[in-house]
Structure 1
Amino acid sequence: MKNNIAETDKTVWFLKTKGPQPLALIAEALKITTEGARFQLLKLSNEGLVNAITESKGRGRPQQIWSLTSAGHARFSDKHADLTLKIIEKIRETLGEQALDAVIEANTKEGIEKYSKEMEGATDLESKVACLARIRDNEGYMAEYEKEGDGFLLIENHCPICAAATACQNFCRSELLTFQTVLGQGVYIQRLDHIVYGARRCAYRISEKPF
């Protein structure tokens, strides 16, 4: 968890990056008592940022699972969403879909050049994925990566261009093309989760072996 954010935002950050969690795990992650965590969650609930459902597992006592509401997710900005949507629609209306595709293609090319330059020192796959995660995190995607079997999992807990990506799926295709290009030939990428389709996060499996 990031330590350079306000104390009151740490619970929201944890739920954003880890998804729905029981009280005990939230308290453990925040390094506070369960009562302290419960107080924070109830405060956030009153603000409409989190809610809880009760789950029963086996013979144990039912437990509350806390998650962010839509208002909670909205705390993490979709950069200039309204303006972006207006620009996309105006390009479609005045210049047509091909012009919009040309703009996205030009942006993709620029992104590939930028990423490639920042990843110049990365040689093996893990260093490339780590560098890619760092770049995406700096761009607001709340990105991280983890080892998974013979490969890696690139996780983006937030999409700062979600409105644009929802309005035009080519933005998402552009991202996959960028990842494939900068990670190089012989690397396989599979999208597992997709925020645009209602998932909590975007996640990509990356490996040097076919899936």
Structure 2
Amino acid sequence: METADITPWTPRSAAERILMQLKMRGPLTSAEFGKLLGTTGEAARQQLMRLGEDGLVTATSKAGGVGRPRQEWALTAAGQARFPDTHAQLTLELLDSIRSELGEEALDTLIAARESKTKRTYAEVLAGKTGLKQRVATLSALRSAEGYMAEWREADDGALLLIENHCPICAAATACQGFCRAEMDVFRSQLGPDVDIRRAEHIVSGGRRCTYVIRERA
């Protein structure tokens, strides 16, 4: 998997590294954590239990093959809240004020202006990046630098997956779907008319992450 190494949220402690891994990868066992962190499964389990006592993670049992069920750890709502949603309350208040004082059309105009600025910024960075994989990788790095914890990989069927493990404007996107529509328009404009993009997972709709399936048109 290709993963951008640029993120505004940098884990500093073992506990924060665990939270980051859960955010990026989803539910994991203590043994899997041990391998990722270069320690033993038991040491990882003790860290996870402490995070569980703090209400940041929770464990569930999943039936597997022969033997005992797998115990997987996942972020709780409190754990998710450790990752920044940029000025969430202020953003919601501003959106509400714009709607009530200026109307929905004014809000659409502001979102369109933000979209246009993003397109210009991305286009400058993507200039000269011709191959689809190269463009998706660059787009992933741009999104990660903006706080989306983005990564990309190639699926078994050849499709490219752009994955955003976090939404730093989730409160705004939940209150106004125009932000999500604008995001899709930005991606389409940067990857070109010969590329199909489909959103397969959506944080605002209850998904753990946003995943975009990207294919070149036949």
TM-score range, shorter chain: over 0.9
Pairwise mapping of residues 45-56 of structure 1 onto structure 2 (< 5 A)?
45-56=52-63
Q: CA deviation at 1:59?
A: 2.3
Answering whether residue 146 of structure 2 is matched by residue 132 of structure 1, we say: no
Normalised by the length of structure 1, the TM-score is 0.96
> Percent of pairs identical after alignment?
46
Amino acid at match of 1:32: T
Pairwise mapping of residues 113-132 of structure 1 onto structure 2 (< 5 A)?
113-132=120-139
Q: CA deviation at 1:31?
A: 1.2
Answering whether residue 191 of structure 2 is matched by residue 156 of structure 1, we say: no
Q: CA deviation at 1:63?
A: 2.0
Cα distance in 1 for residues equivalent to 2:202 and 2:94: 24
Q: CA deviation at 1:56?
A: 2.1
Gaps of 5+ in 2: none
Amino acid at match of 1:198: G
Cα distance in 1 for residues equivalent to 2:65 and 2:36: 25
Task: Give the structure 2 partner of residue 206 of structure 1.
Answer: 214
Q: CA deviation at 1:62?
A: 1.6
Number of aligned residues: 210
Answering whether residue 151 of structure 2 is matched by residue 144 of structure 1, we say: yes
Amino acid at match of 2:150: A
Pairwise mapping of residues 73-112 of structure 1 onto structure 2 (< 5 A)?
73-112=80-119
Cα distance in 1 for residues equivalent to 2:144 and 2:65: 38
Larger RCO, structure (CA 8 Å, separation 6 or more): 2
Amino acid at match of 2:136: V
Amino acid at match of 2:85: D
Gaps of 5+ in 1: none
RMSD over aligned CA atoms reads 1.5
Cα distance in 2 for residues equivalent to 1:34 and 1:150: 34
Deviations 1:154-194, CA, capped at 9 Å, x for gaps: 00000000000000001000000000001111011000000
Amino acid at match of 2:214: I
Deviations 1:48-79, CA, capped at 9 Å, x for gaps: 10000112223211221100000101110100
Normalised by the length of structure 2, the TM-score is 0.93
